[in-house]
Structure 1
Amino acid sequence: MGRLGILGTTGAALVPLSLVALAGCADQDAKVVAQPAKAAKPAASQEARKAAAAKAAKVKANELGQIPVLMYHRIVAKPAGTDDRTPDQFRAELERLAKDGYVPITAREYTTGQIGIPAGRHPVVLTFDDSSPSQLTLDGSGQPKPDTAVGILMDVARKHPGFRPVATFYVIKDMFGTFGPEAQAQTLGWLRDNHFDVGNHTRDHLNLRGRSQDQVVGQIAAGHKLITSLIKDAPATLALPYGNQPSTKDWAIRGDSADVHYRYTGVFLAGYTPAASPFSKDFDPLGIPRIRAMDKVGDCARFCSTAWLDWLNAHPEDRYTSDGDVRTVAYPKFKAPYVAQRFTKYTLPY
Structure 2
Amino acid sequence: MGGRSNPVFHRVSTLLLAAALTACTAEGAPAPAGQPAGPATTAESSPPNPAEIAANELGFVPVLMYHQLAANPAGEYDQTPAEFRDELERLYREGYRPVTAAQYIAGDLDLPAGTHPVVLTFDDSTGSQLAFTDAGAVAPDSAAGILAEFGARYPDFRPVATFYVNNEPFGNDPRALPWLAANGHEVGAHTADHANLASLDADGVQRELVQNVRAVTTAAPGITVRTMALPLGVYPRDRSLAATGSWDGTAYRFDAVMLVGSNPAPAPYGAIDPGGVPRIRSGRGAVPFDSGYWLDWLAAHPDQRYTADGDPARIAFPRQRAAEVDARWADRANPY
- Normalising by structure 1, we get a TM-score of 0.82
State the Cα RMSD in Å.
Answer: 1.8
State the match for 2:93 in structure 1: 99
Q: Distance in 2 between matches of 1:306 and 1:268?
A: 20
State the match for 2:115 in structure 1: 121
1:112-149 deviation digits (Å, cap 9, x = unpaired)? 11111111000000000000111011224432111111
State the match for 2:332 in structure 1: 346
Residue of structure 1 aligned with 2:61, choices 45, 58, 67? 67
- Residue 298 of structure 2 is aligned to residue 304 of structure 1: no
Change in 2 beyond 3 A, CA 1:174/1:132 = same
Q: What are structure 2's unaligned runs of at least 5 residues?
A: 1-7, 19-45
Change in 2 beyond 3 A, CA 1:59/1:123 = same
Q: Distance in 2 between matches of 1:15 and 1:223?
A: 39
- Residue 224 of structure 2 is aligned to residue 234 of structure 1: yes
Runs of 4+ with deviation above 4 angstroms: 7-10
State the match for 2:38 in structure 1: none
- Counterpart secondary structure, 2:323: helix
Does 212-221 or 152-161 show the bigger shift? Answer: 152-161
**Contact 1:87–1:147 (8 Å) recurs in 2:** yes
Residue 174 of structure 1: CA displacement? 3.7
Residues 251-270 of structure 1: matches in 2 within 5 Å? 251-270=241-260
State the match for 1:218 in structure 2: 207
**Contact 1:8–1:64 (8 Å) recurs in 2:** no
Q: Distance in 2 between matches of 1:113 and 1:315?
A: 23
- Residue 309 of structure 2 is aligned to residue 319 of structure 1: no
Does 212-221 or 102-111 show the bigger shift? Answer: 212-221
Residues 1-350 of structure 1: matches in 2 within 5 Å? 11=12, 14=16, 55-178=49-172, 183-184=173-174, 186-232=175-221, 233-281=223-271, 283-297=272-286, 299-300=287-288, 303-350=289-336
Q: Distance in 1 between matches of 2:118 and 2:189?
A: 20
Q: What are structure 1's unaligned runs of at least 5 residues?
A: 1-6, 17-50
Residue 195 of structure 1: CA displacement? 0.5
**Contact 1:8–1:318 (8 Å) recurs in 2:** no
1:9-52 deviation digits (Å, cap 9, x = unpaired)? 96255279xxxxxxxxxxxxxxxxxxxxxxxxxxxxxxxxxx86
Give the partner amino acid of 2:234: N
Q: Distance in 1 between matches of 2:274 and 2:236?
A: 14
Q: Distance in 2 between matches of 1:346 and 1:142?
A: 45
**Contact 2:63–2:119 (8 Å) recurs in 1:** yes
Q: Distance in 2 between matches of 1:296 and 1:77?
A: 16
Q: Distance in 1 between matches of 2:16 and 2:247?
A: 40
Q: Distance in 2 between matches of 1:15 and 1:270?
A: 20
Give the partner amino acid of 1:275: A
**Contact 1:9–1:64 (8 Å) recurs in 2:** no
Q: Distance in 1 between matches of 2:77 and 2:12?
A: 29
- Counterpart secondary structure, 2:49: helix
**Contact 2:198–2:237 (8 Å) recurs in 1:** yes
Question: Number of matched residues?
Answer: 300
Residue 222 of structure 1: CA displacement? 1.1
- Normalising by structure 2, we get a TM-score of 0.85
Give the partner amino acid of 2:247: S
Give the partner amino acid of 1:87: P
Residue 305 of structure 1: CA displacement? 0.3
Q: Distance in 1 between matches of 2:121 and 2:109?
A: 16
**Contact 2:77–2:284 (8 Å) recurs in 1:** no
- Counterpart secondary structure, 1:142: coil
Identity, % of aligned pairs? Answer: 43
Residue 210 of structure 1: CA displacement? 4.5
**Contact 1:8–1:319 (8 Å) recurs in 2:** no
Residue 159 of structure 1: CA displacement? 2.4
